[in-house]
């Protein structure tokens, strides 16, 4: 019995030690000269591949600023920034395994996810809403018996299922692989509505040729986004948070927002408050 306990304790120590070694991002970047950004190809306007085939989006821009500060903090003349694509299914595993140094996407912070990875200061706050056609019912209640699309494997999918259950709406949930697929199905009338974060829906409308699409005024959830990194890496997380805080205190954050969301976009009062609260003193 004692032997098993000692063995378990030693195994735990080894695991903690291995995690600590793996977690030192700044040391690894200094030795390799490479900083790896994990991004999604299909989470516009936060993280996506643009028409030139390049990584783009609000979260990606934040991570580029972090890469610059990593270089400066390490006193390096230059570093190689590598962009590694991830999916909704493997994104947290990629952080844990060290395949990427930071996850730059539309990632909602939850307590269960904090058991897997650490998170930066909040980077955005959004909420789930619903995209409707001109001939669609005005709200979810009117979608009973119809199909509602949502990106599978996301917190938004669970929010939709919870909302339908709470409001006793017998609608069929149709999961799609990406937001473009959801938009196309809605345009073709294959689904009666598409459920996603409001900023994503507004971005989809801007891309659509269907000028009769509209977004419901109702928020069904509030989703705080952040950048994910490996657990236990205090030095790197502090650098990330310092970078974000400095951006929030400067006009640069507005430029990043406009570049990602369009010249007609405006920061919500919630987002403005987030910038103020997280613009921490030096």
pLDDT at 12 over 70: no
Q: 196 and 78 share a domain?
A: no
User: What is the structure's pLDDT at 265?
Assistant: 80
| Predicted pLDDT of residue 22 | 52
**In this structure, are 112 and 228 located in the same domain?**
yes
* 102-104: strand order across its sheet: 80-85, 34-39, 102-104, 223-229, 118-126
pLDDT for the residue numbered 98:
94
Q: Are residues 81 and 153 in the same domain?
A: no
Residues 113 and 153 placed together within one structural domain of the fold: no
142 pLDDT above the threshold of 90: no
Do both 24 and 122 map to the same domain? yes
Cα(38)–Cα(94) distance, integer angstroms = 8
State the chain's mean pLDDT as an integer: 89
Phi, psi angles (nearest 5°) of residue 130: -135, 135
The structure's pTM equals 0.78
Q: What gap in Å lies between CA 139 and CA 16, rounded to an integer?
A: 50
Residue 29 phi, psi dihedral angles, 5° rounding = -65, -40
Q: Of all residues in the chain, what percent carry a pLDDT higher than 70?
A: 92
Last residue of a domain, one of 180, 215, 250: 215
The answer to whether the CB of 92 falls within 8 A of the CB of 28 is no
- The highest-confidence range among 12-21, 67-76, 174-183, 213-222, by mean pLDDT, is 67-76
Residues 95, 30 share a domain: yes
Task: Give me the DSSP letters along 173-207.
Answer: EEEESSHHHHHHHHHTTSSSEEEEEHHHHHHHHHH
Query: Does one domain contain both 67 and 11?
Result: yes
Q: Give backbone dihedrals phi and psi of 212, rounded to 5 degrees, phi first.
A: -95, 5
Domain coverage including residue 66: 2-126+224-278
Question: What pLDDT was estimated at residue 266?
Answer: 83
Task: Using the predicted structure, report yes or no on whether residue 9 has a pLDDT greater than 70.
Answer: no
Are 122 and 30 members of one domain?
Answer: yes
Are 232 and 192 in the same domain?
no
pLDDT digits (tens, 9 = 90+) for 169-196: 999 999 998 899 999 999 999 999 999 9
Domain's final residue, options 179, 194, 215: 215
133 & 99 share domain: no
Q: What is the DSSP letter of 149?
A: E
DSSP state at residue 154: S
Helix segments in the chain, DSSP class H = 2-23, 25-32, 58-74, 91-96, 111-114, 155-166, 179-187, 198-207, 234-248, 252-261, 269-278
Residues 32 and 111 in one domain: yes
Q: Looking at the 3D structure of the chain, how many domains does it have?
A: 2
Q: Is residue 116 located within the same domain as residue 48? A: yes
Whether residue 206 is predicted with pLDDT greater than 50 in this model: the reply is: yes
Residue 183 · residue 194 · CB < 8 Å: yes
Q: Which of 215, 242, 264 marks a domain boundary?
A: 215
Residue 116: CATH number of its domain? 3.40.190.10
């Amino acid at each position: 019995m004692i032997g098993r306990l000692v063995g378990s304790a030693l195994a735990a120590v080894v695991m903690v030690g291995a995690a600590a070694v793996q977690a030192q991002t700044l040391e690894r970047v200094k030795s390799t000269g490479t900083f790896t950004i994990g991004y999604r190809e299909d989470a516009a306007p936060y993280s996506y591949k643009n028409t030139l085939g390049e990584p783009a989006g609000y979260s990606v821009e934040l991570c580029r600023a972090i890469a610059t500060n990593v270089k400066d903090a390490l006193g390096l003349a230059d570093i190689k920034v590598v962009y590694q694509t991830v999916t909704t299914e493997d994104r947290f595993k990629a952080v844990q395994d060290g395949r990427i140094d930071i996850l730059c996407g539309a990632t909602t912070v939850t307590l269960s996810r904090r058991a897997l990875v650490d998170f930066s200061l909040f980077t955005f706050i959004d909420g789930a809403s619903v995209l409707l056609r001109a001939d669609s019912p005005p709200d979810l209640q009117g979608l009973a018996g119809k199909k509602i699309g949502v990106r599978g494997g996301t917190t938004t999918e669970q929010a939709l299922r919870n909302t339908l259950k709470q409001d006793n709406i017998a609608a069929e949930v149709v999961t799609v692989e990406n937001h473009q697929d959801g938009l196309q199905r809605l345009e073709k009338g294959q689904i009666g509505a598409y459920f996603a974060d409001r900023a994503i829906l507004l971005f989809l409308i801007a891309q659509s040729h269907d000028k009769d699409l509209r977004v419901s005024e109702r928020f069904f959830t509030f989703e705080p986004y952040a950048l994910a990194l490996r657990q236990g890496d205090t030095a790197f997380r502090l650098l990330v948070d310092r970078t974000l805080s400095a951006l929030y205190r400067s006009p640069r954050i507005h430029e990043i927002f406009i570049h990602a969301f369009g010249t007609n976009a405006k920061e919500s009062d919630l987002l403005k408050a987030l910038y103020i609260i997280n613009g921490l003193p030096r």
